[in-house]
Chain A
Amino acid sequence: MNPVTVAAVQAAPVLADRDATVAKVIALAEQAAAEGAGLVVFPEAFVPGYPDWVWRSRPWDATSAELYGRLLDQAVVAGSPATQRLAETARRLGIWLCVGADERDEDGATLYNSLLSFAPDGRLAARHRKLMPTGAERLVWGTGDGSSLTVTDTGFGRLGGLICWENYMPLARAALYARGIDIYLAPTWDNSDVWVPTLRHIAKEGRCYVIGVTACIRGCDLPAGLPGRAELYGGAEDWLSRGNSVIVGPDGEILAGPLTGEDGIIFAHIDAAAARAARQQFDPVGHYSRSDILRLTVDATPRAAVSFHRNDAEAAPSPPDGAEVTS
């Protein structure tokens, strides 16, 4: 297992503008990679941005509908040119690139709050869809299923994570611990002072590295054409998110950050072997569990709302040529 330099990028997206935000991700990833980062992490729903308006507007008024339509149009689809650009960036820079996205299926109109992880060989190696949006977020995002509670081997440690308040779901965390997570990503929109203690707790609970990464964005960062901009947002004094990015070691110690009130990239040099060794002290799914009393079962089956089934053996014989078919 090789040590690696990890980077958390605190920045502002170009809200609801996918291509401009992807360009920003590429530029910032290049900057982080130039500093030696082998893993570069971006905030929750960074492409094309966190739909902050859900906290400021009435759910079903015209502005909200217009913003939802804009977000749907600008959302990220796996396998589309947008993810191809991100994958190509990971490949070109030789990095693991993890980016929060407003994501949807190609033919779907429901958005998911997803964390996409691109490998240095240019694969989309993992996609986690947030299991449970919080409060007003439920107006724009659906719920992911257990199939995306995955942990991916990187060569420098096992990588996974949860998004924002999912990190308060003890069973979801336990599932990732059981998959052997060493490097735990926690993209968030949470600016509160309890957030950093939460990440320190998770690091100690899972004896893993935790990378918290938060957007930093103000009213003046919003594009002029954003629907409802004038009625919902102010200027430089109007913080949508102050940022809160922090990197924590497996004993709960802060390695970098927290960074608030400014853009920046924070770095830490980490060694997953140290996280595993720290589990001598505590292993929540091993020697410090009591499987005779408490066991967790995770349904990791993909749960599509509709599945199509066709059994050709049961199909009626085709009508003879020229016969009229009525129904």
Chain B
Amino acid sequence: MTTLRVAAVQASYVLMNRDATIDRVAELTAAAAGQRAQLVVFPEVFVPGTPLWIDGHPIWDGDEDWFALLAENAVQIPGPAADRLAAIAAEHRVWLVVGVDEREPRGGTIYNTVLYFSPGGELAGRHRKLVPTGSERTVWGMGDGSTLPVIDTGSGRISGLICRENYMPLARFYLYARGVDVWLAPTLASGDGWIATMRHLARENRMYVIGVNPVLAAGQVPAGFPARDRLVTAAAAGRWPVAGRRQHRHRGPGRRHPGRTGPPARGNAGRRP
């Protein structure tokens, strides 16, 4: 097995602007590939961003314009946006993993989806989040068992779950059973509790874990965004990825890297349970 150089991209999207955000994916993928990354991972629903209003604003109470923008800017498969992402992967010869708000070409339901593009520019896999969390259930549908891929890169098998899906023991177990080596956890969750979970997962399945979050400041909400002030106020009261933080890969004491995981101690203390 060869090694794999991986990159987690913590960045801001252009809120509810699919094409401008894909431009950012192109720039940032080029930057990561320029630093020899072979696997480049973007945050949860990076394209075209998080529906920021859902926690800080009552549902169905003046959110129609925002939802319409989300639907209009969602990524369709097949479609030109997906083709552009595939071309970015091919141009830089990387595995490109991107969270998107996804919509069926003729559908009205939006899914929280992760797309896997191969260095050859193929859409190698797609995972739709099985259970959205809390208020997310008002904007995203639920995936089914057909979109739980584990993909062999030739340098390890990659897979993962989105945000709080990472707390679903049976979903994790199913993917562990299929031999995942590198776990991707795009998320909006922040805080040290989330880092604890990333470290737990690494050790539970003895694998690498890549957590990746967006970051966005209020000033980055595009000028002219519908009801911009109300959105920013609502988002500030609810979810706001400004506190997004990069989670470096946590190396578990994996098969290829046996070694101590605990603090130094004389004798054997710390090395084993």
Contact = CB atoms under 8 A, between A and B. Distances in A.
Contacts of B176: 170
Closest 5 CB pairs of A and B: A192-B262, A197-B196, A201-B200, A252-B193, A170-B169
Interface string B165-187: 00111111110100000000000
Interface string B102-142: 00000000000000000000000000001101100000001
A193 interface: yes
Interface size class of B (residues with CB under 8 A): 35 or more
Given A56-B267, A281-B134, A134 B273 contact: yes
Interface string A236-275: 0111111000000001110000000000000000000000
Contact of A284 (B134, B168, B202, B267): B168
B266 A197 contact: no
Contact of B273 (A190, A205, A281, A290): A190
Contacts of A69: none
Given A190-B262, A201-B197, A288-B167, 10 more contacts: A134-B272, A134-B273, A171-B173, A191-B265, A192-B262, A192-B270, A198-B196, A201-B167, A204-B193, A290-B168
A253 B196 CA distance: 11
Contacts of B169: 170-171, 173-174, 177, 205, 284
B78 interface: no
Given A198-B203, A200-B193, A290 B142 contact: yes
Contacts of A192: 261-263, 270
B173 A136 contact: no
Nearest to B203: A194
A102 to B, nearest CB: 15
Interface in B190-223: 193, 195-197, 199-204
A126 B133 CA distance: 35
B235 to A, nearest CB: 19
A311 B167 CA distance: 50
Interface residues of A, number: 54
Nearest to B172: A170
18 contacts: A55-B272, A170-B170, A177-B169, A188-B273, A197-B200, A198-B199, A204-B167, A204-B193, A239-B267, A253-B193, A284-B169, A287-B131, A288-B168, A289-B170, A290-B142, A294-B168, A294-B170, A294-B174
A282 B269 contact: no
B34 to A, nearest CB: 33
A134 B272 CA distance: 9
Contacts of A238: 266-267
B2 interface: no
A259 to B, nearest CB: 14
Contacts of B3: none
B144 interface: yes
* Most interface-central of B169, B170, B176 (chain A CB within 10 A): B169
B261 A194 contact: yes
A241 B269 CA distance: 6
B262 A282 contact: no
Interface string B134-159: 10000000101100000000000000
A204 B202 CA distance: 16
Which among B134, B200, B263 has the greatest number of chain A C-beta atoms within 10 A? B200
A174 B199 CA distance: 19
B160 to A, nearest CB: 15
Contacts of B266: 234, 237-239
Contacts of B167: 201, 204-205, 282, 284, 288
A92 to B, nearest CB: 33
B109 to A, nearest CB: 16
Interface string A170-187: 110110010000000000
Contact of B272 (A135, A194, A242, A251): A135
A316 B256 CA distance: 63
A242 B270 contact: yes
Contacts of A239: 265-267, 269
Contacts of B199: 194, 197-198, 201
A190 B203 CA distance: 13
A238 B267 CA distance: 6
Contacts of B171: 290, 294
Given A284-B168, A293-B145, A165 B267 contact: no
A280 B172 CA distance: 21
A34 B7 CA distance: 54
A193 to B, nearest CB: 6
A121 to B, nearest CB: 33
Contact of A240 (B145, B263, B267): B267
B145 to A, nearest CB: 4
Given A174-B170, A190-B273, A201 B262 contact: no
A294 B267 contact: no
A134 B203 CA distance: 14
Contacts of A201: 167, 196-197, 199-201
